[in-house]
Amino acid sequence: MEINTILDQIDLGAMALPEFQRGYVWNRNQVRELMNSLYHRYPVGGLLVWVTKTEQAESRGDQALSAGNVRLILDGQQRITSLYGIIRGTPPPFFEGSTSTFTDLYFNIEEESFEFYGPVKMNDNPRWISITKLMKDGLSSLIGQIYENPDLKPKANLYITRLNQLLGIKNVSLHIEEVTGADKTVDVVVDIFNRVNSGGTKLSKGDLALARICAEWPDARQELRHALYKWQQAGFHFKIDWLLRNINTVLTGEALFSALKDVNAGEFQEALRRTTKLIDLLLNIISGRLGLDHDRVLGGRYAFPIMTRYLSQNGGKFKSVEERDTLLYWYIHSFLWGRFTGSTESVLNQDLAVMETHEDSLERLIEQLRIWRGDLVVRAENFAGWSRGARFYPMLYLLTRVGTAKDWGTGLPLKADLLGKLNHLQIHHIFPKSQLYHAEYSRSQVNALANFCFLTQATNLDIGNKLPKVYFPEIEAKYPGALASQWIPMDSRLWRMEKYPDFLKARQALLASAANSFLNTLLMTSQPQEEPVLLEVLSPVTVPGGINGEDEEEQLLRTNIWITEQGLPEGEMLYELLDERSGDAVALLDLAWPEGIQTGYSEPVALLLDEEASTLELASSAGFRCFTSVDSFRSYVEQEILAREPTS
């Protein structure tokens, strides 16, 4: 079928993109290579389409489909989208992505080369021709210009021949292979899609589950995104698969997405409505009761499907404060010990099974967690981690927000209901970083969790680079008890630089005691918990990597903002690199794109600032292309992803 006819078929709604397909991910270099190949009439591959009845088809976009049958593109989306955008001058109805990838492509009639518009090179240079203008207006408008230009007239016939060859791309025929037959269900077609796209990103189980729902309810994906956007505005970033998992457990009591196969659109709509309300309730409670009021300190995301299921079983609300706090007790321990770090579905199903078969499901959940863990006692060594990626970092923030912690510059409490948003708090290194580095302490010691506390920005700036032996006495004199409220050991001998390791150990013990006290209040008991059973699981594990301070975080945030401005997906902050066999975290990557910046079409990428060699080695061995500076990362994106010319 000729390319022109394929584009007409799209306009008529006779050819479309299935709902389960991912968005457009090509870069400018790929678009240029496609046009260069077509211009020289090199083979560019055919299309694979799924021919299905229109009434059973679920496609992307809001364009009406033609009556009877429709061809849904399984393979060839990137090529057809690029061609449609260049030839029509506008993206196709099913488009999702950045139009800059195929906008303003020009052809040089002298060099027979393709480049995207650059004013310095192309302004007042008649040899550069807009391909979209040529495709839309035809050759007639250019013939006169070529013959009338004294610089072009000597080769006018050659240039016109080349433009005719370029214009003829619309008449190039692409082979179309069709998948047809009543036996070709969505499941079968998705399997075909994954096999054809074996080199790219496969569709997730969530994608397939959503495709089934969208076949009956076209607005399903948009409604899910609407809910995710609402939480994003509140500072919590979740993905569609996560929300689907919650809906699935609320509706079916199962973790596996296959449980949704017999769910109709009406049931799914109602479950979505109920689930979003339950998640709203949980986020409000976790923010208000625990002070975990933003994305960076929200641990245990995959504990949510358990909690939403529990609430759903109990009418969407807590019967008492005691019941609420007992669930929060389980939730905190689930993320402190990494309950859902590894095989998420199997662990979720274990916990869901407990909830289905026992009336005292909360107690059973806690007991199952205790058996799996060995005990639920926080010890000093658990606070021996370092960086914001430490598993107990949220616990430190939690204790600050729910306890009696006071700001050292104002003496005011730092409770969530009194202070408000995160941007009013900053991490403060109790022993200043520069002084510790000067004293030749290692990075992990400098950024030890026990060297962190939270203060207002003004207080943090006011303390500056002072040593504790200098500013601690001043604070204690002005605001008695303020130091102890932040679990500072009051033995002044520990405030000296040479005693820094002893200070850390003493503060770790104070933090562990505070953590156990708070957790016990959630159970409304002051009874000590039993001694450990599995001692080997209690040894602290230091995970390399992580964000090192406010300046580094600011660089990473600005990088994410920049990359979204280029129409590319933002990276994942503090990406947890897992051991494939054990499921344990082996490294924390500052900013990562585990599926590539162009999902499925480029390699995994990580931006690692000021990291030790071990972190780089672990990331590289896991297949990540690593960059150690923002400048080198941006050059990679601009030259290899966006295919821009390097700036001098």
Comparing CA positions, the residue from 76, 139, 80, 77 lying closest to residue 107 is: 139
CA atoms within 13 A on the CB side of 394: 23
Measured CA to CA, the distance from residue 243 to residue 221 in angstroms comes to 11
Query: Does residue 469 fall inside a structural domain?
Result: yes
Environment class of 391 (CB within 10 Å of its CB; exposed 0-12, middle 13-18, buried 19+):
buried
At 471-499, the pLDDT tens digits run 999 999 999 999 999 999 999 999 999 99
Measured CA to CA, the distance from residue 220 to residue 206 in angstroms comes to 13
Q: What is the pLDDT of residue 420?
A: 42
Q: Pick the most confident of 60-74, 196-210, 487-501.
A: 487-501
Measured CA to CA, the distance from residue 374 to residue 368 in angstroms comes to 10
549 touches 427 (CB < 8 A): yes
Over range 37-49, report the average pLDDT. 91
**Position 353 pLDDT exceeds 50:** yes
**Position 96 pLDDT exceeds 70:** yes
Question: Considering its fold, how many domains does the chain have in total?
Answer: 4
Query: Does residue 564 fall inside a structural domain?
Result: yes
Over range 77-105, report the average pLDDT. 89
**Position 596 pLDDT exceeds 90:** no
Over range 435-456, report the average pLDDT. 90
pLDDT tier at 540 (50, 70, 90 boundaries)? very low
**Position 202 pLDDT exceeds 60:** no
Give me the domain span that covers residue 515: 381-538
pLDDT tier at 542 (50, 70, 90 boundaries)? low
More confident call, 578 vs 39: 39
User: What is the separation of C-alpha 59 from the centre of its chain, rounded to a whole number of angstroms?
Assistant: 25
Least confident window among 115-124, 139-148, 580-589: 580-589
pLDDT tier at 345 (50, 70, 90 boundaries)? confident
Measured CA to CA, the distance from residue 204 to residue 194 in angstroms comes to 10
Same domain, 367 and 387: no
Query: Does residue 407 fall inside a structural domain?
Result: yes
Q: What is the pLDDT of residue 31?
A: 92
Same domain, 248 and 287: yes
Same domain, 531 and 399: yes
Same domain, 66 and 157: yes
More confident call, 520 vs 216: 520
Q: What is the pLDDT of residue 378?
A: 93
Comparing CA positions, the residue from 637, 629, 545 lying closest to residue 593 is: 637
Task: Out of 348, 373, 398, pick the residue that ends a domain.
Answer: 373
Same domain, 493 and 431: yes
Query: Does residue 393 fall inside a structural domain?
Result: yes
Task: Out of 324, 341, 373, pick the residue that ends a domain.
Answer: 373
At 115-140, the pLDDT tens digits run 998 888 898 899 999 999 999 999 98
Look at strands 572-578 and 585-593 and give their pairing. Answer: antiparallel
**Position 537 pLDDT exceeds 60:** no
Query: Does residue 186 fall inside a structural domain?
Result: no
DSSP 108-159: ETTTTEEEE--HHHHTT-TTEEEHHHHHHH-SHHHHHHHHH-TTTGGGHHHH
Over range 210-219, report the average pLDDT. 76
Q: Rounded mean pLDDT of the chain? A: 85
567 touches 556 (CB < 8 A): no
The gap between the terminal CA atoms of the chain, to the nearest Å, is 45
Q: What is the pLDDT of residue 527?
A: 37
Same domain, 324 and 443: no
Q: Residue 70 is which amino acid?
A: V
Q: What is the pLDDT of residue 601?
A: 65
CA atoms within 13 A on the CB side of 90: 6
312 touches 361 (CB < 8 A): no
Query: Does residue 369 fall inside a structural domain?
Result: yes
pTM (two decimals): 0.63
Q: What is the pLDDT of residue 204?
A: 62
Same domain, 155 and 211: no
Over range 138-166, report the average pLDDT. 92
Same domain, 586 and 603: yes
Task: Out of 322, 351, 373, pick the residue that ends a domain.
Answer: 373
Over range 248-260, report the average pLDDT. 88
Q: Pick the most confident of 195-199, 444-448, 502-506, 541-545.
A: 502-506
Same domain, 117 and 240: no
CA atoms within 13 A on the CB side of 132: 16
**Backbone angles phi and psi of 202, in degrees to 5:** -75, 155
Q: What is the pLDDT of residue 343?
A: 60
pLDDT tier at 388 (50, 70, 90 boundaries)? low
User: What is the separation of C-alpha 437 from the centre of its chain, rounded to a whole number of angstroms?
Assistant: 33
Query: Does residue 188 fall inside a structural domain?
Result: no
Tokens 């299921």 correspond to 309
Same domain, 499 and 600: no
Q: What percent of the chain has pLDDT over 70?
A: 88
Query: Does residue 195 fall inside a structural domain?
Result: no
Same domain, 397 and 433: yes
Q: Quick count: other Cβ atoms within 10 Å of Cβ 515? A: 23
Q: Residue 221 is which amino acid?
A: R
| Nearby residues of 71 by Cβ (< 8 Å), 6 or more positions away | 9, 14, 15, 16, 49, 50, 51, 176, 178
**Position 45 pLDDT exceeds 60:** yes
Same domain, 98 and 229: no
At 277-293, the pLDDT tens digits run 999 999 999 998 998 88
Least confident window among 57-71, 352-366, 540-554: 540-554
| Nearby residues of 472 by Cβ (< 8 Å), 6 or more positions away | 483, 488, 492, 495
More confident call, 189 vs 4: 4
Q: Quick count: other Cβ atoms within 10 Å of Cβ 82? A: 22
